[in-house]
């Protein structure tokens, strides 16, 4: 059973340190792997380092309200700097390491960033020219030791003879409505917008999050999502308040190894990574000898029928228990063996993924929110008892109100709604009405009267020449239910029908070719093979059966290369940048509507 929470009267996010983290006396509050060894930070070490950063920043002349950027992958130093900035009344500006130089330049200038903390040498070299031309940036520090760069320890070194009284005075002057962070949304078009979040905004979400992720203090979390995304950042505040140890994965490439080493109780992820795990497991299942493969496919079929909201009866449950022993237990072992919850957000989780993980006794709890809502609005929950509807984003969290506008747009009101967009009052007024309702831009509906389901982005819906509205996200999700389709972007604004750009799952195609005795040459060449084209056409037709006639994909173009963040086609949270994709593939799209 979960341990009772330490009572907290936190009014500022950094109060979590004194009220929860330090009293927990954990030996492994934070951990990371360096030179092949796991290094831990105790509760006291963590809190002491935070205080040293705060004292150093004061010595460096940081005033309340000064903006300080953090550009790094997740690691203990990220948290230390974050809390160090908070305690002196500074405003953190966390930035995705993958953003373009133009975006960095824009943010540094608009936010008038005073100091910059970066993770490693590659980021230092990437930003050195941008920092040199940013008029307000005084210094850049690195977490790794980098030649010609100032190490972040030079900040903590200043704490030796610092004024502790000044730090206490600065902390006491901070209140819940003060600005905590400016988070620049990656966006799919235009310049990024700075979302202003207060201590109260984040704490309101943290308090609710502790009820939703209620594991004992000996629990561990594996973290691999970027901390500059408010979803992972808020979840980490929940972990710290709840006494859950945070272990940082070395990289996305090492997640499989790190899962076995850490044996986490909980992890948060984006659905895209779950899809990759699922696809690898499926591919390995198909590689098994015939009898083992048949057992695997039988278990998989059972998993695809699973529904946590409905008991499917004695016979199904008996089979499922056997499938868990023979097949699904190996899935759980591959994820560390102790995983009790996967928190999924930032995009829609394909129902097939959720069902199979639930069947494997690994609950996937999907939530919904935006940077502007700190971020959580709704969540499928395990505690105090399971309340889950697969295909929805769960129940609205306590303290937050949600209503649907006449056109289906989701409107939100509550303590989690942002203060506004930095230096953009006109844009703020466009999304927050005079009576306090935030317009999310997402279209939704209620399932069973209380579970929220997202159907599409308001601005992404398009109308065919027949006057029918198409919700591209919903169609894309249906297409991606196929094991053979990895990515899809639906197009057809003003056209007679809907069409799509499709990136096949090349791992699935390799296995298909092996079974069909087709020589696999390259990703591009295999798409010309008649059997492969017939197979993919069949998969699209299966998806079309679940769509209304006006949303069915009449034509599609197969792409030999996946959309990526690096190519500018996806946001850092892996959402498609539709305008960029449509511009890049304008000729291919034009061909879909000719003739």
Angle at 90 between CA 85 and CA 93, to 5 degrees: 80
Tokens of 219: 């629990």
Distance of CA 152 to the CA centre of its chain: 27
Per-position pLDDT tens, the chain of length 595: 343 344 457 999 999 999 999 999 999 999 999 989 999 999 999 999 999 999 999 999 999 999 999 999 999 999 999 999 999 999 999 999 988 899 999 999 999 999 999 999 999 999 999 999 999 999 999 999 999 999 999 999 999 888 889 999 999 999 999 999 999 986 555 688 999 999 999 999 999 999 999 998 889 999 999 999 999 999 999 999 999 999 999 988 899 899 999 999 999 998 888 888 888 888 888 888 999 999 999 999 999 999 999 999 999 999 999 999 999 999 899 999 999 999 998 778 889 899 999 999 999 999 999 999 999 999 999 998 999 999 999 999 999 999 999 999 999 999 999 999 999 999 999 999 999 999 999 999 999 999 999 988 888 888 888 888 888 888 988 898 888 999 999 999 889 999 999 999 998 899 899 889 999 999 999 999 999 999 999 999 999 998 889 999 999 999 999 998 888 888 877 788 888 899 999 999 999 998 6
Name the DSSP class of 295: H
Rounded CA Rg of the chain = 25
Q: Is the link from the previous residue into 384 a cis peptide, with omega within 30 of 0?
A: yes
Tokens of 214: 């209620």
Give pLDDT tens digits for 551-595. Answer: 999 999 999 999 988 888 888 777 888 888 999 999 999 999 986
Q: How many CB atoms lie within 10 A of CB 505?
A: 23
Per-position DSSP letters for 273-285, written without gaps between them: HHHHHHHHHHHHH
Set out the domains of the chain in order of their start, with CATH numbers: 15-174 (3.40.50.12780), 266-414+423-458 (3.40.50.12780), 461-592 (3.30.300.30)
Nearest to 232 by CA among 115, 104, 375: 375
Residue 172's φ and ψ, nearest 5 degrees, are: -65, -25
Beta bridge partners of 379: 367, 395
CB 402 within 8 A of CB 180: no
Dihedral Cα 336, 342, 348, 352, nearest 10 deg: 60
Beta bridge partners of 429: none
Distance CA 388, CA 306 (A): 12
Mark residue 417 as left, alpha or beta (left: phi above 0; alpha: psi -120 to 50; beta: remaining): beta
- The SS3 of residue 368 is strand
CB 35 within 8 A of CB 83: no
In 432-529, alpha helices (H): 472-479, 506-515, 523-526
């Amino acid at each position: 059973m979960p341990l009772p929470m330490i009572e907290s009267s936190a009014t500022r996010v950094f109060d979590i340190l004194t009220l929860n983290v330090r009293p927990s006396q954990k030996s492994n509050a934070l951990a990371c792997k360096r030179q092949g060894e796991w290094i831990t930070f105790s509760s006291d070490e963590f809190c002491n380092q935070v205080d040293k950063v705060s004292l150093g920043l004061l010595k460096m002349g940081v005033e309340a309200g000064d903006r300080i950027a953090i550009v790094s992958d997740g690691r203990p130093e990220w948290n230390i700097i974050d809390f160090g900035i908070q305690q002196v009344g500074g405003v953190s500006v966390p930035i995705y390491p993958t953003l373009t130089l133009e975006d960095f330049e824009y943010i540094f200038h608009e936010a008038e960033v005073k100091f910059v903390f970066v993770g490693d040498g590659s980021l230092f070299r990437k930003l050195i020219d941008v920092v040199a031309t940013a008029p307000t940036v005084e210094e850049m520090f690195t977490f790794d030791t980098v030649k010609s760069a100032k190490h972040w320890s030079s900040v903590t070194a200043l704490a030796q003879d610092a004024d502790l009284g000044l730090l206490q005075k600065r902390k006491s002057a901070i209140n819940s409505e003060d600005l905590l962070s400016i988070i620049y949304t990656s966006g799919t078009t235009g310049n990024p917008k700075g979302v202003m979040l207060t201590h109260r905004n984040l704490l309101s979400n943290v308090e609710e999050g502790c009820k939703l992720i209620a594991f004992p203090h000996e629990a561990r979390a594996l973290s691999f999502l970027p901390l500059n995304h408010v979803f992972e950042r808020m979840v980490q505040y929940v972990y710290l308040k709840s006494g859950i140890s945070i272990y940082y994965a070395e990289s996305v490439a090492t997640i499989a190894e790190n899962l076995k080493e850490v044996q986490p109780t909980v992890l948060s992820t984006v659905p895209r990574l779950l899809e990759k795990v699922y696809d690898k497991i499926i591919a390995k299942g198909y590689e098994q000898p015939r009898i083992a493969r048949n057992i695997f496919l039988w278990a998989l079929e059972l998993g695809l029928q699973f529904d946590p909201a409905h008991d499917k009866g004695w016979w199904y449950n008996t089979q499922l228990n056997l499938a868990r022993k023979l097949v699904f237990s190996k899935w759980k072992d591959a994820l560390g063996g102790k995983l009790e919850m996967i928190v999924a957000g930032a995009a829609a989780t394909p129902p097939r993924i959720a069902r199979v993980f639930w069947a494997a006794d690994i609950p996937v709890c999907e939530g919904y929110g935006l940077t502007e809502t700190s971020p959580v609005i709704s969540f499928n929950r395990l505690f105090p008892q399971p309340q889950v509807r697969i295909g929805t984003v769960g129940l609205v969290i306590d303290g937050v109100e949600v209503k649907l506008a006449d056109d289906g747009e989701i409107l939100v009101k509550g303590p989690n709604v942002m203060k506004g967009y930095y230096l953009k009052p006109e844009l703020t007024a466009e999304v927050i009405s005079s009576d306090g309702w935030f317009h999310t831009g997402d279209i939704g509906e209620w399932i069973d009267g209380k579970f929220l389901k997202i159907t599409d982005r308001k601005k992404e819906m398009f109308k065919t020449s027949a006057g029918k509205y198409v919700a591209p996200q919903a169609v894309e999700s249906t297409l991606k239910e196929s094991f053979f389709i990895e990515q899809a972007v639906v197009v057809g604004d003003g056209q007679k029908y809907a069409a799509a750009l499709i990136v096949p799952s090349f791992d699935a195609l390799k296995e298909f070719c092996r079974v069909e005795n087709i020589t696999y040459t390259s990703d591009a060449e295999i798409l010309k093979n008649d059997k492969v084209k017939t197979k993919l056409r069949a998969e699209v037709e299966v998806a079309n059966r679940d769509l209304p006639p006006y949303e069915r994909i009449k034509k599609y173009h197969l792409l030999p290369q996946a959309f990526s963040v690096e190519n500018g086609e996806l946001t850092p949270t892996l959402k498609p940048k539709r305008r960029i994709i449509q511009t890049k593939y304008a000729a291919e799209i034009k061909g879909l509507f000719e003739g």
